[in-house]
């Protein structure tokens, strides 16, 4: 199977990872620049900004792996999405009733959709079955 035969769902997942990575990079860099410029960001916010940048870079690396059909990247992205679903379920169970139910539904549905896009369908299975 060639790159041109990459399933659309796999491409969608990679694009989502790329967009998330770019947004994370921008947010992390802006937070650090604001701290350096004297906006008074506490040290723990700088640490969070650096962690956001690291997560963003990892998203970009995993997106590249997904696009190439790398099985390890597929597995790691799946594990991260399962953890996201569990976190969203915990948040739903512990949040006040006033919080938006739609926000919780999106926080659960998006990772589930990513998992399905990475694992469902014969073309997807074949794409990841080849050596990468």
Among the listed residues 13, 10, 18, 12, the one whose alpha carbon sits nearest the alpha carbon of residue 126: 10
pLDDT digits (tens, 9 = 90+) for 23-55: 999 999 998 888 877 766 677 788 888 999 999
The total number of structural domains that make up the chain:
1
pLDDT digits (tens, 9 = 90+) for 52-98: 999 999 999 999 999 999 999 999 999 999 999 998 888 888 877 65
Distance CA 25, CA 125 (A): 31
In which domain, by residue range, is 125 found?
3-129
**Residue 52 in tokens:** 């956001």
Which residues have C-beta within 8 Å of that of residue 91, sequence separation ≥ 6? 104, 107
- For the entire predicted model, the pTM comes to 0.80
Per-residue pLDDT, 98: 57
């Amino acid at each position: 199977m060639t790159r041109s035969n990459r399933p659309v769902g796999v491409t969608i997942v990679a694009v989502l990872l790329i967009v998330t990575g770019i947004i994370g990079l921008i947010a992390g860099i802006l937070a650090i620049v604001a701290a350096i410029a004297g906006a008074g960001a506490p040290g723990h916010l700088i640490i969070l900004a650096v962690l956001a940048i690291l997560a963003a870079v990892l998203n970009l690396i995993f997106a590249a792996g997904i696009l190439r059909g790398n099985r390890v990247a597929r597995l790691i992205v799946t594990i991260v999405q399962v953890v996201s679903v569990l976190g969203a379920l915990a948040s739903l169970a512990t949040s006040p009733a006033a919080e938006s139910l739609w926000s919780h539904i999106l926080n659960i549905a998006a990772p589930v959709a990513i998992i399905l896009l990475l694992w469902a369908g014969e073309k997807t299975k074949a794409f990841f079955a080849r050596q990468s």
